């Protein structure tokens, strides 16, 4: 465990709440302590209300907030006195608890407080930190975990047997704490769940968390249960695109909507999926209960999605019968798949969700590995995990309120993605919820700020290697290709046929036509496995219906590309792949239209550059964004019955109309 506190950084956070923000971020920065919205922290502050009354306010992390990125507004201020009075009630239902917390905040715009708020309230310390530390879970998630915890911590912590988070946990913590805590108590261990530390200052509470978890790490080391064997091969370099896309197709069918699937095949994951005992140790349950909403209770072994769905339905039926209220089953598709060939595959409704599932399982593999070395991994019974999975307060974390985006769970490849129409297509697709792989020869494509739903691939599309790599990346990161926007193109002539340079002609054909043919051919197997059917939009040109003098190579290449796309529409209809063509004109915010080309073209028509820009029927300018929005919509439900169509985006052209 590394203590990340520095006085210099801490000085930038003056005040009780700011100090709370600082050490919450330190906790969040260490992924072996908390992951993606896991864990929570609080501080109790005495404040004066608008009426001049002094009152104690508990600032507790907002539900689902990420500790690493939290700020003051991410904490919910709840009146402490009210929480303490709630804590002694004999019972409090979840909706009642939620209502009481939300109606006793001192700031209306604050987030909904953490489900563990009352527990923070009953601990008589100013600062409280709670994590699901990997090392602690590796120790408690064994058959004799309680004995080991006693061995590690002696009387320094109060140990609480597993109780589901919420009101009951707060009550049992309050009671055991009252009975067992003494002046030297610095934390609470919640068996098979996590750990609390507390203190008079943010630093003291944080230091104690690092100390307590560090002791668990050293214990694992002393028991020969720290170093994990990593003997799997790193197989990131090779993958079967069709096997992965087919698996994702079946998972999406089972889920009832398209899902993103990330396949992890580094040596760490390959070691785990090829463990001899993987069929046993992976099927016992998650390391801490709130992981269930991201990973489901158990991963799927191999590729039998039908079998997995059947056993999920049985698990639901077995446990829902005893539930107090009527429950609706969640989709029965897996969120983690362990396959000896495909590695560890993580699934989510969006690329971000798949990434969260992958991160959680990366840590779970280590926890299982260490607990096994310690004598045997053990998890909570299925009934406890079910109660958490179907706990409404937990499900609320997954509901963002808005309905899923148009292309949630779908994957798009865009070529020529670094600038102009291609870049606008990337933005239009991301805005509609798709995960996007952008390909471009321009190195800028790799310098886009890192985000889970975008991947830049640099390369020349005239090389089969680039095409293979782009499709490999799309498959590895997201599980396949559903939509393809064929946009990359060059405009290199500006010479009349009599003066046409052979090399320039050839290059135009290579990029605009041959590379597009190769890309279509290589993408076809993936497009056939798109959960909602494949969609292709080819960016043609006004020059197809209305060619211009001095643009022979460009016009001929785009005309041939259009014809290629029409044949694809004919051939691929049977595979449920739609292929449509856009013919933009006079889109001047693209790489093709340099100032020189603009001048040259304008003079061909005897116009000024300004006249040339708006020389269309509507006298309007056409932007990359106009083209991209239409390209994205052509992949959506609006055009679901349309294939082989050619649509102008040109402000109206006299020669085309
Ligand atoms: Zn917790």
* Residue 400: per-residue pLDDT: 58
Determine which helix (DSSP H) or strand (DSSP E) holds 85, and give its type and residue range. Answer: helix 80-87
* Residue 401: per-residue pLDDT: 57
Give the distance (Å) from ligand 1 centre to CA of residue 299: 21
Give the distance (Å) from ligand 1 centre to CA of residue 39: 5
Give the distance (Å) from ligand 1 centre to CA of residue 229: 29
Give the distance (Å) from ligand 1 centre to CA of residue 289: 8
Give the distance (Å) from ligand 1 centre to CA of residue 448: 35
* Residue 399: per-residue pLDDT: 64
Give the distance (Å) from ligand 1 centre to CA of residue 31: 15
Please report the beta strands in 96-212, taking only residues with DSSP state E, as ranges in sequence order: 127-131, 157-160, 187-190, 194-199
DSSP track, 375-425:
T-B----HHHHHHHHT-HHHHTTT--SSPPPTTTT-EEEEESTTSHHHHHH
Give the distance (Å) from ligand 1 centre to CA of residue 63: 11
Give the distance (Å) from ligand 1 centre to CA of residue 276: 31
Structure tokens given for 426 = 């990337």
Rounded to whole angstroms, the Cα distance separating 223 from 226 reads 8
CB 345 within 8 A of CB 336: yes
> Rg of the Cα trace of the chain?
29
Q: Cβ–Cβ contacts within 10 Å for residue 502, how many?
A: 7
Distances (CA, A) of 237 to 28, 84, 264: 32, 57, 11
Give the distance (Å) from ligand 1 centre to CA of residue 21: 18
Give the distance (Å) from ligand 1 centre to CA of residue 164: 9
Give the distance (Å) from ligand 1 centre to CA of residue 366: 19
Angle of helix 552-572 versus helix 502-509 axis, rounded to 10: 20
All residue ranges of the chain with pLDDT < 70 are 394-402, 493, 591-592
Q: What is the largest CA-CA distance in the chain?
A: 97
Strands 40-48 and 54-61: what pairing?
antiparallel
Torsion angle of C-alpha atoms 365, 257, 475, 249, degrees rounded to 10: 90
CB 319 within 8 A of CB 382: yes
Give the distance (Å) from ligand 1 centre to CA of residue 36: 12
Give the distance (Å) from ligand 1 centre to CA of residue 52: 36
Helix-strand-coil split of the chain, %, nearest 5: 45, 15, 40
CB 104 within 8 A of CB 98: no
Alpha carbon 532 to its chain's center: 21
Structure tokens given for 577 = 């792949």
* Residue 475: per-residue pLDDT: 97
Give the distance (Å) from ligand 1 centre to CA of residue 42: 13
CB 44 within 8 A of CB 20: no
Alpha carbon 341 to its chain's center: 23
Distances (CA, A) of 19 to 16, 110, 497: 5, 19, 72
Contacts made by residues 352-358, CB under 8 angstroms, sequence distance 24+: 352/452, 352/453, 353/260, 353/294, 354/259, 354/260, 354/261, 354/262, 354/452, 354/478, 355/262, 355/452, 356/35, 356/36, 356/294, 357/294, 357/295, 358/262, 358/264
Q: Which of 18, 68, 9 is CA-nearest to residue 43? A: 18
Give the distance (Å) from ligand 1 centre to CA of residue 38: 7
* Residue 107: per-residue pLDDT: 95
**Residue whose tokens read 């082989």:** 644
Give the distance (Å) from ligand 1 centre to CA of residue 418: 43
**What does the pLDDT look like over 295-345, one tens digit per residue?**
999 999 999 999 999 999 999 999 988 777 778 889 999 999 999 999 999
Give the distance (Å) from ligand 1 centre to CA of residue 139: 16
Give the distance (Å) from ligand 1 centre to CA of residue 376: 23
DSSP track, 321-342:
TT-SS--PPPP---SEEEETTT
Q: Cβ–Cβ contacts within 10 Å for residue 98, how many?
A: 20
List, in sequence order, every residue forming a beta bridge with 539; answer none if it has no partner: 582
Please report the beta strands in 405-555, taking only residues with DSSP state E, as ranges in sequence order: 411-415, 435-440, 454-458, 483-486, 534-539
Give the distance (Å) from ligand 1 centre to CA of residue 194: 6
């Amino acid at each position: 465990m590394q203590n990340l506190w520095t006085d210099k950084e801490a000085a930038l956070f003056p005040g009780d709440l700011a100090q709370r923000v600082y050490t919450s971020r330190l906790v969040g920065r260490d992924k072996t302590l908390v992951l993606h919205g896991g864990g929570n922290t609080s501080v109790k502050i005495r404040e004066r209300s608008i009426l001049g009354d002094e009152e104690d306010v508990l600032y507790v992390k907002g539900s689902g907030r990420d500790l690493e990125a939290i700020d003051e507004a991410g904490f919910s201020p709840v009146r402490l006195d009210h929480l303490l009075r709630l804590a002694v009630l004999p019972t409090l239902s979840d909706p009642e608890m939620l209502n009481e917390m939300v109606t006793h905040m001192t700031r209306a715009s604050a987030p909904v407080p953490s489900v563990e708020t009352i527990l923070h309230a009953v601990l008589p310390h100013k600062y409280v930190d709670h994590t699901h530390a990997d090392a602690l879970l590796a120790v408690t998630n064994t058959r004799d975990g309680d004995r080991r915890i006693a061995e590690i911590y002696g009387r320094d912590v109060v140990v609480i047997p597993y109780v589901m988070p919420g009101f009951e946990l707060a009550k049992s913590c309050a009671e055991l704490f009252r009975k067992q805590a003494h002046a030297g108590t610095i934390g609470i261990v919640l068996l098979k769940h996590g750990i609390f530390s507390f203190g008079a200052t943010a630093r003291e509470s944080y230091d104690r968390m690092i100390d307590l978890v560090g002791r668990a790490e050293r214990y694992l080391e002393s028991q020969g249960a720290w170093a994990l064997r990593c003997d799997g091969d790193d197989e990131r370099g090779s993958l079967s695109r069709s096997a992965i896309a087919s698996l994702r197709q079946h998972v999406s069918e089972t889920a009832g909507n398209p899902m993103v699937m990330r396949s992890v095949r580094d040596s760490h994951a390959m070691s785990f999926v090829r463990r001899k005992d993987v069929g046993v140790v992976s099927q016992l349950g998650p390391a801490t209960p709130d992981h269930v909403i991201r990973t489901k209770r158990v991963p799927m072994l191999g590729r039998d999605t039908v079998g997995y769905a059947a056993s999920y339905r049985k698990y639901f039926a077995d446990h829902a019968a005893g539930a107090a209220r009527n429950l609706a089953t969640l989709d029965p598709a897996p969120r983690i798949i362990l396959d000896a060939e495909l590695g560890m595959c993580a699934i989510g409704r969006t690329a971000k969700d798949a990434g969260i599932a992958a991160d959680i399982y990366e840590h779970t593999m280590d926890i299982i590995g260490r607990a096994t070395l310690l004598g045997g991994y053990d998890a909570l019974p299925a009934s406890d995990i079910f109660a958490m999975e179907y706990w409404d307060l937990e499900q609320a974390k997954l509901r963002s309120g808005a309905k899923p985006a148009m292309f949630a769970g779908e994957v798009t490849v865009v070529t020529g993605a670094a600038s102009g129409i291609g870049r606008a297509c990337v933005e239009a697709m991301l805005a509609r919820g798709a995960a996007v792989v952008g390909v471009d020869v321009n190195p800028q494509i790799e310098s886009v700020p890192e985000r889970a739903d975008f991947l830049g691939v640099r390369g020349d599309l005239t090389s089969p290697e680039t095409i293979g790599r782009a499709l490999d990346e799309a498959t590895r990161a997201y599980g396949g290709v559903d939509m393809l926007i064929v946009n990359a193109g060059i405009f290199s002539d500006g010479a009349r046929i009599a003066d046409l340079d052979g090399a320039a002609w050839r290059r135009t054909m290579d990029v605009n036509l041959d590379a597009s043919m190769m890309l279509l051919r290589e993408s076809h197997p993936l497009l056939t496995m798109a959960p909602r059917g494949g969609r292709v939009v080819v960016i043609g040109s006004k020059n197809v219906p209305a060619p211009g003098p001095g643009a022979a190579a460009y016009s001929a290449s785009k005309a041939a590309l259009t014809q290629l796309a029409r044949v694809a529409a004919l051939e691929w209809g049977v595979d449920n792949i739609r292929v449509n063509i856009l013919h933009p004109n006079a889109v001047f915010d693209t790489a093709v239209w340099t100032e020189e080309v603009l001048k040259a073209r304008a003079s061909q028509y005897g116009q000024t550059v300004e006249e040339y820009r708006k020389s269309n029927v509507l006298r309007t300018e056409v932007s990359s964004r106009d083209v991209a929005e239409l390209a994205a919509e052509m992949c959506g439900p609006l055009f679901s019955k349309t294939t082989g169509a050619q649509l102008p985006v040109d402000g109206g052209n006299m020669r085309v109309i």
